[in-house]
Amino acid sequence: MKRGDLSNLAWGAALLVLAALLPLTGDGYLISLGVTIAMYTVLATSWALFSGPTHYISLATAAFFGVGTYVTGAGIDHLPYWTLLPIAAVVGGVLAALVGLATLRLSGVYFVIFTLGLAEMTRQVVTWYQNKTGHKGTYVLTDLTDNDIYWQLVALAGLVFLIGWAVGRSRLGFALRIIGDDEDVARHVGINTALSKVALFIVSGAVAAVVGAIIAPRYVYIEPSTAFTPMLSFQVVIMALLGGTGRLWGPLVGVIPFTLLWEAISSSFPNQTTLLLGLSFLAIVYLLPGGFVGLWDRVKHRSARRRALA
């Protein structure tokens, strides 16, 4: 391990501890905002682990997330809460593996549409099942507070960053970057492209399901239209791209401003949130192709060149 790595790890740990101190403020609004930010940080970062290097845009986040909330919803009366998180991870991972094996041979827009369709289909299946059994939704009653949910999400964020850091330094991470650049070249240098992609897709699917399982108690009452809302998938993509997927911490710098803006807009103009989504997307396409990370890199590059010339 190099010295730079150690200092990065130390910085990461320190920031995580700092984030974990937020509930000490005792401010309910801040903590609730913290939960939202932590949730999207985990979702966007794990999304970027797969979609960042490979450029495969997945809109299946809502499917994994929803499945996770339903694991908690269905299991909370029968099993101890702590066993539900690993179960959600396994269920999300298996779903991701199945989807991955079926779709990762598809390229570009076909993959995007399929993942969007998958989320919708999962929602329809759950709705159908609930209608058949005469329920509309499920109650999730626990004594978990916002603080507990927040700490779980912060811990999960720490885990995701650790996984991302390890993958970035591994052969697998290098393989994914090559796949993202040119899949034909990847195959011809000897990379098992399908296996590499599925492996990372499983990680991001499992993480999204665990987030759903953790968040479920906050919803108290879950029904398919909230658990599988396609809006979630779009928000995750926009936040990750806004921050930039070129660095592990990129999505985080997209999540924070976006969530704050979203909160501000939805409290005063509740009907205009979709507009924010659209404008952010335009901003990414026209102004910030590499997200905030790309902007930062360009500024740094330019000032370095100016210094070299001076």
Partner 1 sequence: MTAVVKLSGATKQFGGLVAVDNVSFEVQEHQVLGLIGPNGSGKSTTLNLISGALPVTDGDIALRGREITGLPAREIARKGVARTFQLVRLLPSMNVVENVMAGAVFGHRRRWGASAERHAKHVLETVGIADKARSHVSQLTYIDTKRVELARALAGEPEVLLLDEWLAGLNPTELTEGIDLIHRLRDEGRTIILVEHVMDAIRSLCDACVVMSSGKKIAEGSTEAVLSDPEVIRAYLGDDDA
User: Residues in the site for partner 1, rule: CB under 8 A?
Assistant: 171, 174-175, 177-178, 180-182, 184-193
From the CB of 48, what's the least distance to partner 1, in Å? 15
Identity of the residue, 10 or 189, whose beta carbon is nearer to partner 1 in the bound complex: 189
Identity of the residue, 120 or 187, whose beta carbon is nearer to partner 1 in the bound complex: 187
Identity of the residue, 4 or 80, whose beta carbon is nearer to partner 1 in the bound complex: 4
Q: C-alpha 16: how far from its chain's center?
A: 17
From the CB of 53, what's the least distance to partner 1, in Å? 9
Per-residue H/E/C for 14-47:
HHHHHHHCHHHHCCHHHHHHHHHHHHHHHHHHHH
Identity of the residue, 23 or 53, whose beta carbon is nearer to partner 1 in the bound complex: 53
From the CB of 184, what's the least distance to partner 1, in Å? 7
From the CB of 294, what's the least distance to partner 1, in Å? 12
Identity of the residue, 77 or 182, whose beta carbon is nearer to partner 1 in the bound complex: 182
From the CB of 106, what's the least distance to partner 1, in Å? 17
From the CB of 19, what's the least distance to partner 1, in Å? 31
Bridge partners (DSSP) of residue 222 are: 138
